[in-house]
Amino acid sequence: MASHKLDDIDRHILAQLQADGRMTNVELASRVGISAPPCLRRVRTLEEQGYITGYHAEINARELGFEVSVFAMVRLNSQAEADLAAFEDRCRGWPLVRECHMLNGEIDFILKCVAPDLSTFQSFLTGELLKAPNVANVKTSLVIRGAKDEPGVPFDVLEARLARLA
């Protein structure tokens, strides 16, 4: 868990890595205005403190044949912590489920699912998700198109907030 306060350079490092996680340490150091050795130490510290949790390539799902994206809103029969944890564990084991978020309100979880075609998703829905223990009902919405898919956090909003507080 994060335990040290971030300074301007740390936040700039995070913003740069969020925009391009493949850059070399030398390039990163140049962009944030410090030399390479302290930059690498800062990156390692940010990783150890949990600010950086991984590095990923952005994959074009459609180019790989994943034509269907669906949001599934799941309501459970029981919201006891053990039942919530069991559902989350089950979600981690389903390859089509790419994201799982617990919500407040009428819906307990929203799942983002991707599949190569509608019949594959339908098989998952009827053969696994709807049959899972504790699932009361599922409502699905097929994604027609995406207007924005931006991972990470808005660093410009963070910087503006910090400037107001200073």
**Residue 108 in domain:** yes
Query: Quick one: 15 and 71 in the same domain?
Result: no
In CATH, what number is assigned to the domain containing residue 94? Answer: 3.30.70.920
How much is the average pLDDT of 110-118? 98
Give the model's pLDDT for residue 166.
Answer: 76
Query: Would you say residue 160 lies in a domain?
Result: no
Average the pLDDT over 107-133 and give the result: 98
Where is pLDDT greater, at 72 or 163? 72
Residues 80 and 42 in one domain: no
Any domain includes 165 = no
Average pLDDT, the chain: 94
Dihedral sign (CA 127, 132, 136, 142): negative
Q: For the chain, give the percent of residues with pLDDT over 90.
A: 86
Instruction: Note the pLDDT tens digit of each residue in 60-74.
Output: 999 999 999 999 999
What one-character-per-residue DSSP string does the chain give? Answer: ---S---HHHHHHHHHHHH-TTS-HHHHHHHHTS-HHHHHHHHHHHHHTTS-----PPP-TGGGT--EEEEEEEEES---HHHHHHHHHHHHH-TTEEEEEE-SSS-SEEEEEEESSHHHHHHHIIIIITTSTTEEEEEEEE----S----S--HHHHHHHHHHH-
* One domain for residues 66 and 52: no
Which structural domain, as residue segments, surrounds residue 37? 8-57
Rg (CA), the chain: 20
Question: Is residue 98 assigned to a domain?
Answer: yes
Residue 49 shares a structural domain with residue 72: no
The total number of structural domains in the chain stands at 2
110 in any annotated domain: yes
Q: Residue 34 belongs to a domain with what CATH number?
A: 1.10.10.10
The answer to whether residue 21 sits within a structural domain is yes
Say what the pLDDT of residue 106 is.
94
Query: Could you read off the pLDDT of 70-109 as tens digits, one per residue?
Result: 999 999 999 999 999 999 999 999 999 999 999 999 999 9
* pLDDT higher than 60, residue 2: no
The reply to whether 148 falls in a domain is no
Domain-terminating residue out of 42, 57, 72: 57
